Amino acid sequence: MDVQKRILIINGVERAFVCNPEKDSLADVVRRLGLTGTKVGCGAGQCGSCSLLLDGKVVRACIKKMKSVPEYASVETIEGIGTAENLHPLQQAFITYGSVQCGFCSPGFIMSAKALLSENPNPSRQDVRDWFTKNMNICRCTGYKPIVDAVMAAAAVMRGEKTMDDITFKAPGDGRIYGTDYPKPLALTRVLGTADYGDDVALKMPHDALHLALVMPYVHHAEIKKIDFAEAEKMPGVVKVLTAADVKGSNRMLAPQGIVRKYADGKERPVLCDKKLFRYGDVVAVVAARTREEARAAAAAVKVDYKELPAYLNYVDATAPDAAEIHPGTPNCFVEQPLLKGENAGEIIDRAKYAVEGSFSSTREPHLPIEPDAVQAYPTEDGVTVLCKSQFLYGDIAFMADAIGLPKDKIRIAMNHAGGSFGYSMCAASYAIAAVCAMDLRVPVSLVMSYPEHQHFTGKRSPSYTNARLACDEKGKFIAMDYHTGIDHGAYSDFAGALTSKVCRFFGYPYQVPNIRGLVQTAFSNHNHGITYRAFGSPQAYTASEQLVDMLAEKIGMDPFELRYINVAQEGDLCTNSVPYRWYPMKSMMDTMRPHYEAALERAKKFGEPGKKRGVGLAWGGYHVGKSPDHSEIDIELNPDGSVTHYNTWQEVGQGGDIGAMVHAHEALRPLGLKPEQIHLVQNDTATCPDTGSSSGSRSHHVAGMATIDGANQLIAAMKKPDGTFRTYEEMKAEGIPTKYRGVYDSKWADLDPDTGHGWGAMGQNYCLYLAEVDVEVATGKVKVDRMTLVSDIGKVGSYQSVLGQAWGGFSHSLGFALTEDYDDVVKHATMAGAGVPKCNDVPDDMDVIFHESEHPDGPHGSTGCSESYQSSGHVAILNAIANATGARIYTLPAKP
């Protein structure tokens, strides 16, 4: 091995180390030195999370080999530019302007921006966006806008035009932080680079820890004949190769299907495949070795003898009459949910004077977090602890317990800091693999996937295939809708029942459509399995329904805004599920949007850029909040110093579990007059926190908020004296009054009827109306989204910073869904760039979110959840704008040139 002692000047200090210049990257070196603020995401120079400064120039350290780094070169990392007591202006601005969500990319952006400002102290917003695009700094959370805001603010401080105080949040005079831009409590750790994500924890494991590598045969469908790992076990550093024979439990994960028509038991997925491979990305064995490199080398040496079987890679092929059952004994079409409202919609459409129809399909959209999946586990005396980025800690325990052979109370899950998820980490498959290895080997283990491994292993948004029709009368009033959707859920049934029912709900939302006939059917295929993804189920429905509205407007010669205006629901109208909408802000929201729509039409009329056409598109969207029945718990405890601790499992994956818990607790405890710094958060460890439920379906703000109010009310009542003052901690103890209380919320709404689709099925609703303006290059068909305007109703906004981040970030995902993102070609789409992740200049800088703040009486502090609504239908506004510009209707996503 060609190793050398080298010296670099790192953050102004001479540092000596030993490396292999041919193999080691600059990122490897600085991370081995403990400077783990430099993150490695894609490992291929495509995401910029590893950006640092080398002799003053920004470089992507993960692809900068040490052989090309000069001796005594100057290296600057995030750890060298500021401290908690003395932040760099960029670090403070990133905190204040909401530029930090999951925070995995933040150090790379800050270092990249530092290099920009040293070259150009007074950049324009476009200069900043061009810089991040050129240097491949990718953010999947924020939509880029708040990052540009932060750079502009920091630049003003560095030029002397503003002070640090000017760009630091100040609470309003009344001290209330609910409904403000109060920053994320965890933002400081992100901008300092001190947050330990999965790969950072892997570097800080005990000396006896083992590293895991997955054996993936990379075949879509096959019968396993033999696994030969004899040579692999002899390789350097290898301790053991584990297979299904080493799994102590049933080796079958649990995937509950919910209340739908279902023909699968949800137990078809093995932890480690034993008899068959069901999809590209299945795992047959795991190598445990002293180093990650040794484990990977041995994994490549494992030989798998298999007999290839016919592979059905989409819904159409998998549901063909002659298709063999992918899971023997279970039909490939394994879930159904009909929806029936009013009279026979099909016959009404057949007789209608005005009707349109179309066949629409959507893609297997990848989540594309910047951080690939990373898990650690270690054995306890009679159980196991798993460290990961689960979005459903207690649920994932239930999903894996029987499979790995442990009672649920012997499994502890605690979160690492999470570098984004967007839903994929609801799946417990990698946690189960790590747990199995830790239990068998009796030592701590770490599994960190490469980005291609992450792409192949983790679930995706399920593709959809829809035939749909919509009809109206002579005045443009909708009279009937008819649809049939097939969902390709891939190899496994994770959350398939919930997905099926959710797709059903959003055809015709939030309109008054008196007659609907719908059927959603979900099938297994041999492609990547479907999993939860923000807006779960609604994008597939809106892809069809909101395009049909524009098609119908064109057919009857009516403006698409006016057609929507006369059909949105009004007080008393029934929603798609034959129950009233929770509230009816729709017309008022359209009144708010009207001047923006008219201005957009005027801009399109005046648009005269040679070789391009401008289009304007609308789309209604929104989502149901959570599920029913639902249950959530938190604990509130008074501390000796008068502060309060809030215990919960509001899983923080960047969306704001930290700030959400903070603002709810502060608002609910207002009678005590606490300052925000007197509220301490203990989150996301099943050893210390109760079950708050999953961070999914826009439920957490609603249910955790209601549970927090309940717990806070109990504590306040216990502290209150007859004279109206409050007991101290010492007085509580002296009187034998408990200082810790459990807050509980149970939703009271029934689930959907599996035969008709009638019912609430959720505790709340939210609404959003998108307006997109796009430019289309005539010669190539290339689309540029120029502006986005969104009118949103989620009740009273709890944290503007967090909610705006969800809106901007959600739209960036919607833009990718519309134009570039896919995981269909498992080779081409294995990388972040290959799968079509949007760069800074792909997402518009002009994104205007307008809050229509009505009081939501069923939710906490007049509010409800929001996240799913912000990725529900933005993509269809883009598709409608393309059609408006060109006359070409896009039926199949993505809309590539």
Element (H, E) at 811: helix 800-819
Give the span between the Cα atoms of 470 and 483, in whole angstroms. Answer: 9
Which candidate in 453, 667, 821, 868 is catalytic?
A: 868
User: Largest Cα–Cα distance in the chain?
Assistant: 83
Per-residue model confidence as pLDDT tens digits over 48-93 = 999 999 999 999 999 999 999 999 999 999 999 999 999 999 999 9
Is residue 364 scored above 90 in pLDDT?
yes
Per-residue model confidence as pLDDT tens digits over 857-883 = 889 999 999 999 999 999 999 999 999
pTM of the model as a whole: 0.98
Q: Are strands 612-625 and 764-777 parallel, antiparallel or unpaired?
A: antiparallel
Per-residue model confidence as pLDDT tens digits over 176-227 = 999 999 999 999 999 999 999 999 999 999 999 999 999 999 999 999 999 9
CA distances from 130 to 124, 283, 705 (A): 10, 41, 40
Residues 6+ apart with CB under 8 A from 895: 783, 818, 819, 878, 879, 882
How far does CA 594 lie from the centroid of its chain? 31
CA distances from 312 to 308, 325, 491 (A): 12, 10, 10
Per-residue model confidence as pLDDT tens digits over 559-599 = 999 999 999 999 999 999 999 998 999 999 999 999 999 99
Give the span between the Cα atoms of 36 and 29, in whole angstroms. Answer: 10
Q: What is the CA radius of gyration of the chain?
A: 27
Phi, psi dihedrals of residue 85, rounded to the nearest 5°? -90, -15
Residue 610 — very low, low, confident or very high, per pLDDT cuts 50/70/90? very high
Give the span between the Cα atoms of 47 and 41, in whole angstroms. Answer: 7
Helix pair 393-404, 429-441: axis angle to 10 deg: 50
Q: Is 611 exposed, middle or buried (0-12, 13-18, 19+ CB in 10 A)?
A: exposed
Q: To the nearest 10°, report the CA torsion of 180, 183, 185, 191.
A: 170
Give the span between the Cα atoms of 744 and 652, in whole angstroms. Answer: 20
Per-residue model confidence as pLDDT tens digits over 151-165 = 999 999 999 999 999
- What mean pLDDT value characterizes the chain? 97
Per-residue model confidence as pLDDT tens digits over 807-830 = 999 999 999 999 999 999 999 999
Q: How many CB atoms lie within 10 A of CB 78?
A: 29
Residue 854 — very low, low, confident or very high, per pLDDT cuts 50/70/90? confident
Identify residue 831 by its one-letter amino acid code: T
The arithmetic mean of pLDDT across residues 467-472, rounded, is 98
Is residue 756 scored above 70 in pLDDT?
yes
Label residues 269-280 b or e (16+ Cβ within 10 Å = b): bbbbbeebbbbb
Pick from 160, 109, 168: which is nearest to 139 by CA?
109
The arithmetic mean of pLDDT across residues 466-486, rounded, is 98
**Residues of the chain above pLDDT 70, percent:** 100
Label residues 26-62 b or e (16+ Cβ within 10 Å = b): bbbbbbebebbbbbbbbbbbbbbbbbbbbeeebbbbb
Is residue 769 scored above 90 in pLDDT?
yes
Tokens representing residue 224 in the block: 């396993």
Q: How many CB atoms lie within 10 A of CB 122?
A: 12
Is residue 1 scored above 70 in pLDDT?
no
Give the span between the Cα atoms of 42 and 443, in whole angstroms. Answer: 28
The arithmetic mean of pLDDT across residues 328-338, rounded, is 97
Is residue 463 scored above 80 in pLDDT?
yes
Per-residue model confidence as pLDDT tens digits over 517-540 = 999 999 999 999 999 999 999 999
Tell me if residue 868 is catalytic. Answer: yes
Tokens representing residue 418 in the block: 């999470």
Is residue 652 scored above 90 in pLDDT?
yes
Give the span between the Cα atoms of 867 and 533, in whole angstroms. Answer: 11
The arithmetic mean of pLDDT across residues 703-725, rounded, is 98
pLDDT of residue 628: 81
Per-residue model confidence as pLDDT tens digits over 22-47 = 999 999 999 999 999 999 999 999 99
End-to-end CA distance of the chain: 48
**Are the CB atoms for 429 and 271 separated by under 8 Å?**
yes
pLDDT of residue 495: 96
Per-residue model confidence as pLDDT tens digits over 89-136 = 999 999 999 999 999 999 999 999 999 999 999 999 999 999 999 999
